[in-house]
Structures are given as structure tokens and as C-alpha cells.
Amino acid sequence: MKHQLLTEIHEFYEKRGADEVLQQYKITDVNYFKINAFDFIISLQNYCSKLYYVIPEFESEGLSLLFKLYKIMFKTIEAQSFTPANVNEFCQKILYACDVLDKSYDLIFPKNIDESLFNSTSVRKNTLVKKNSLYILLSTIIACKDIYSKNTLIKNIRICITYHLLSNTKYLTSISEEEKGAYKSYDMIEYQAGGGYIDNLCKTILYKNNEHDMVFKNINSDKFKGVIMIVLNNQKKEISYKDKTSKNKRRKLNLIDKILLCSYWNRNIPNMYIQRSYSLEHITPFSSHWSNDINLDIDRLGNLFPTFDEINKKRGNKSLEIYYNNDYIHFTNSIRRLLPENYSEINTFSDRKTSIANTALFNEYCNVNENIYIDNLIDDLYGSTLN
């Protein structure tokens, strides 16, 4: 660990002095360089940033994330507080907290899904929580380390982050300001006031009995599901076939689509496929025709399911018959309940084109699938006891 930190601080000073006109001090032998308190925090944060996607590199503006945490854990960042015992304790707790946070985030946004299908606010790099939220989350994990098992803590931090992202007011557009405020009141990692407020909140989490889990303990399944339903209904965009053909491209999918689809993949796909890259496919093909006097959303969540590109390309815009081929049956068993058994009653295929013959049945299976996705996530987060 010490060697890793020495390497990080050496790299930090090399980069910082790269554009300087004046000659800079050179670290000639990294193994004999003595780290001071400032160097220790810089190197640890940059080490964590490389090891864990969710942690940013050391920032020179204001008080750095790990400086903030060290200060509330050991009451000061004066040199005398950086004792061997404190430094070792801090390293252990920070690495543990970063690992929990990183694993929680990866369950929400896996690395192996094609992100080109989603809008810019839904991709991994744009959904990372901000510094003050990280400060609160890391404080919570450290405070709860000896209260919850690691798996349970990962689950609860995942609840907290997901609720934080979905309860953003830009997604809650169809409800009153009072209702928005009620949902937002349970998002305790949202930035609400200046640094003093955040510091006091983190101190409360770390040191006040029965408050260590305050950021997630009141987000129950009903509140969580309520937010999901609002966001999902708001993002549906029903249009006529004429409007669809004028644009001739699929609608970029939203944050809620990604969260629900990724959760289904993580929980239902066999282990032999779980790390494999995957994409999304329409049950009723995107290129399908439907009556111009009817509006529907061909890109709605219930018409999508996770699959592999190789199957998607072989299927084209035909029926779902390929998914029942013996070559893919192990995979199909995990998505079978999403595929309507009455497909031929809903869609007809002629002259290499698919037409939606029954839009009512189309919307019916979409509604069923959306409820499957929602119930899958709620059960994953609230229905299982993790050890």
C-alpha cells in the first residue's frame, strides 16, 4: 500500500510540474521519499480514483473529498493527527467504503450494456454523484460498517443512489410542487445548503446513535415504487406512424429504462452470460407499421428486452421464433416471460415488413412487461434478505 501511495504522489508532482517554466523539484527515488499529510491524502484519493470508478481524482479547488472525511473522523487535519494508527484506520475504512460504493454503482449501471442506446443523462460517466453526495455516502458506509453486512450495505447504498437519481425534479414533471417536495424530502444526499450543513450532517451520521443509516432507512418500497411509476409514465411518448417515419430513428432511452433493464439482466440472466456485453431489442420491431389514426410508443420500455447483438441481427424484423431455437434456449429461458405467446395475433409479417395488427394487445403486453421490470427491481432491493 505504501509503495502504491509513493507511486501516486510521484505521478502527481510529475504531472503538476509538466507545464511549469521554472525548474521543479524532482523525486529521484520514490522509495525513499517521505510523505507528509498533504501528500498522503492526495496519493490515497488518486489511488482510489484508479481503483474505483466512482471516486474522482484529487481536486485542488476547496477542501478535497478525503481531507473532508479525515477531518470529521479525527477532528482535525493538523499534522499531529496523522499518526500511524489514524492513517492505517483511515486507509482501511476508506478502501472499504469505496469498494461498497463502487459495487453498489455497478449494480445500477453495469459496464457491459451498449450505452449508445441511451440519452446523455443516462450513461455511466454522467450519472456519477457529486462531491457532497459522495461525502455523505462514504460517511454513511464508514458509520455502518459494523452494523450491516457488506452485501446488505451495498443493497442499501444502491437504494439511496437510485432514489437520488430518479427523484430529480426534471423527472417528476407531472406532479405538483408539494408532491415533488414530499418525494425529495427522502433524498438526503441531495445538495441542500453550504459546506457547514454537509459537515454537520456527516458528523451526525458518524457519531450520533441511531442516525448512522439515516440516508436510506426511510426510503421504503412504497416510496421507491412511487417514484419509479411517476418517472416511467412521464417518459412515454406516443406518436403516429407518420410522425415516427418522419424522424426514422429510435428515441433515446431514459434513465429509468436503463435502471430497470439492467436490474433485470443482473438478476435473471444465467451466470454463463452475466458478464457478456449485451444490447436491447424490440419485441415488436422498431420498423413496424401501424394505423395512422392510432398513437403508440414503439420504444416504450415494455417493448424492449435485453439480448445479444448476434441474435438481434439474425432476427431482423421477423417473429420471435429465433429465440426458441435450441442454440439459444438457455438464454431464452431467462427472458421467456417477457415474450408474448400470442405474437402472431399482435403482429403480421408480409413482404419483408411487420405490421401491428392489434395495438391494444401491443399495449397490453407492454404494460405486463413494465410491471415485471418494476417488481423485479423492488423485490431485488426489498424482498430479499442478504447476508
User: What is the average per-residue pLDDT within 298-319?
Assistant: 89
Residue 385, pLDDT score: 41
CA distance 285 to 298: 8
Q: What is the pLDDT of residue 125?
A: 86
Position 26 pLDDT exceeds 70: no
pLDDT of residue 386: 38
Nearest to 141 by CA among 186, 176, 95: 95
Q: Buried b / exposed e across 337-374, counting CB within 10 Å, b at 16+? A: ebebeeeeebbeeeeeebebeeeebbbebbeebbebbb
Residue-level pLDDT at 29 = 57
- pLDDT classification of 19: cutoffs 50, 70, 90: low
Calculate mean pLDDT across residues 183-210.
Answer: 89
What pLDDT was estimated at residue 67?
A: 93
Q: Given a cut of 70, is residue 31 above it in pLDDT?
A: no
Least reliable range by pLDDT among 82-96, 118-132, 151-165, 206-220: 118-132
CA dihedral 222, 253, 324, 313 (to 10 degrees): -170
Confidence bin at 195 (pLDDT 50/70/90): low
> Residue 226 pLDDT > 90, yes or no?
yes
Mean pLDDT of 127-132: 91
Q: What is the pLDDT of residue 126?
A: 87
Which of 61, 57, 41 is CA-nearest to residue 49? 57
pLDDT of residue 365: 97
Q: Is the pLDDT score of 116 beyond 90? A: no
- Check: CB of residue 292 under 8 Å from CB of residue 359: no
Please state, rounded to an integer, the average pLDDT across all residues of the chain.
Answer: 89
Name the pLDDT band for 137 (thresholds 50, 70, 90).
very high
**pLDDT for 387 beyond 50:** no
Instruction: Point out the least confidently predicted range of 42-46, 88-92, 122-126, 377-381.
Output: 122-126
Among 213-227, 310-324, 339-353, the least confident range: 310-324
- Give the model's confidence band at 25: pLDDT under 50 very low, under 70 low, under 90 confident, else very high: low
Distance of alpha carbon 1 from alpha carbon 90, whole angstroms: 13
pLDDT, tens only, 241-279:
988 888 778 888 899 999 999 999 999 988 888 888 888
Residue 62 — pLDDT band, cuts 50, 70, 90? confident
pLDDT grade, residue 23 (50/70/90)?
Answer: low
* H or E segment and range at residue 178: helix 177-184
CA distance 139 to 97: 8
Low-confidence winner among 154-163, 192-201, 205-214 (lowest mean pLDDT) = 192-201
pLDDT at 384 over 60: no
Interacting residues of 230 by C-beta distance below 8 A, sequence separation 6+: 171, 172, 174, 175, 183
Nearest to 283 by CA among 357, 341, 339: 339
Average pLDDT over residues 117-132: 88
The pLDDT score that the predictor gives to residue 247 is 76
Q: Cβ–Cβ contacts within 10 Å for residue 120, how many?
A: 9
pLDDT of 309-319, one tens digit each? Answer: 888 888 888 88
Q: Is the pLDDT reported for residue 95 higher than 50?
A: yes
Does position 331 have pLDDT exceeding 60, yes or no? yes
Contact call for residues 30 and 6 (beta carbons, < 8 A): yes
Q: Which long-range contacts (CB under 8 A, 24 or more apart) does 50-55 make?
A: 51/98, 52/98, 52/99, 52/101, 52/102, 53/102, 53/105, 53/106, 53/124, 53/128, 54/98, 54/101, 54/102, 54/105, 54/128, 54/129, 54/134, 55/98, 55/101, 55/102, 55/134
